[in-house]
Amino acid sequence: MQNQMSSFEFISILISIIIGLGVTNLLAGTGRAFYRRKQNPIDEIHIVFTAATLLVLVLNWWVMFSWNTEVNWSFEEFLVLIVWTISLYMLTIFLYPPDLSEAEEHRDRFQRNRTGYYSTFIAVCLLDVAQTGIRGDLFHPVWYVPFVGQYAVLAGSGLVVRRRGYDRFFAWYQLITVSVWSLVVRRYLGATRRQPGNRNEPGIFPARCSGASGAYDRGRRPPATTSGVPRSPSPCR
């Protein structure tokens, strides 16, 4: 029997490549910054933004598996996911542009690119809401939209408040809140939602990650392997 690639596997390959390129760009940029630290001292804000963005990329890559229960894909779903993934990649470009030379300091470069970073971050939040809406989970839980919206509002404020102190606040706020959410809150909510009667598990943003039982409740079925055995539920927990 020939191996057949599912729709999710086909789409996830492209998404993994794009996010992988973003992670590679962050790691390469951080390595250059560390190597040139004597000529250009490492900037605290730039490094915190790097750590926060890396965490966002890795977590979104992880919870992307929640789409494995989707059977009937539409071009609109595919387009939203790809544009969302590209916006994640662009965050890394504004932090570490490809033409970053040894003579350029990271602080000065980020100050020139801060508008692009904050604008792209807003786009990431809006596209996250869009893909959650496509899946029909926009108001489950009810605090999902306010949770994501706070990041969009703070990023929008960064476009107006052009001060280094605000950049430091947003960088640390993003890193701390996403870290606490991903490492502590998601674990607590995941344990609660795995109790009888609770079907959804949280992703990086609350409504994003659901197991196979949630897919059945919405009339979907997990894609089968080539042997006909249903795939395992999402590992997001």
* Helix H or strand E encompassing 210: strand 209-210
More confident residue, 147 or 69: 147
Express each pLDDT in 44-81 by its tens digit.
898 999 999 999 999 888 888 878 887 788 888 889 99
Per-residue 3-state assignment (H helix, E strand, C coil) for 110-129: HHHHHHHHHHHHHHHHHHHH
Q: Whole-angstrom distance between the N-terminal and C-terminal Cα of the chain?
A: 34
pTM of the model: 0.76
Strands 209-210 and 200-201: antiparallel
Show the beta-strand stretches assigned E in 7-156.
Answer: none
Measure CA 176 to chain center.
15
pLDDT above 70 as % of the chain: 73
DSSP helix/strand/coil, 215: helix
CB-side exposure of 122: number of CA atoms within 13 Å? Answer: 13
pLDDT value of residue 191 = 55
pLDDT value of residue 3 = 65
